[in-house]
Amino acid sequence: TLYSHDTSLGTGAAATATALASLPTRSTFDNLVDAALRRAQRNAVPVGVMACGLDGFDEVVATLGREASETLVAATAARLAHALRGEDLLMHDGAGQFLVVADSVANDEVATQVGRRLRAAVSEPIVLHGTEVRSGLSIGYTLGFGGERTSDLWEHAERALIYARSVGGDTTASVGDADAASQTVEASAIDWNELAGSDTA
Measured CA angle at 120 (ends 135, 168), to 5 deg: 50
Residues facing 49 on adjacent strands: 101, 142
- What does the pLDDT read at residue 201? 52
Residue 186 lies in a domain: no
Residue 197 lies in a domain: no
Q: Is the sign of the CA dihedral 165, 166, 169, 171 positive or negative?
A: negative
Q: Write out the residue range of the structural domain in which residue 60 sits.
A: 12-174
Total domains in the chain come to 1
- What does the pLDDT read at residue 106? 97
Residue 165 lies in a domain: yes
- What does the pLDDT read at residue 5? 36
- Residue 49 makes CB contacts below 8 A (sequence gap 6+) with 33, 100, 101, 141, 142, 143, 144, 153, 154, 156, 157
Residue 2 lies in a domain: no
Measured CA angle at 25 (ends 19, 28), to 5 deg: 125
**Residue 63 CB neighbours (<10 A):** 14
| φ, ψ of residue 88 in degrees (nearest 5) | -80, 160
Residue 199 lies in a domain: no
What CATH number corresponds to the domain at position 24? 3.30.70.270
Residue 193 lies in a domain: no
**Residue 155 CB neighbours (<10 A):** 14
Residue 162 lies in a domain: yes
- Residue 180 makes CB contacts below 8 A (sequence gap 6+) with none
Task: Output the tens digit of pLDDT for each of the chain's 201 residues.
Answer: 444 333 344 444 555 556 687 899 999 999 999 999 999 999 999 999 999 999 999 999 999 999 999 999 999 999 999 999 999 999 999 999 999 999 999 999 999 999 999 999 999 999 998 999 999 999 999 999 999 999 999 999 999 999 999 999 999 999 999 999 988 756 555 565 665 655 555
In the 3-class helix/strand/coil scheme, how is 72-112 assigned residue by residue?
HHHHHHHHHHHHCCCCCEEEECCCCEEEEEECCCCCHHHHH
Helix (H) / strand (E) element for 175: namely helix 175-200
Residue 179 lies in a domain: no
| φ, ψ of residue 100 in degrees (nearest 5) | -130, 140
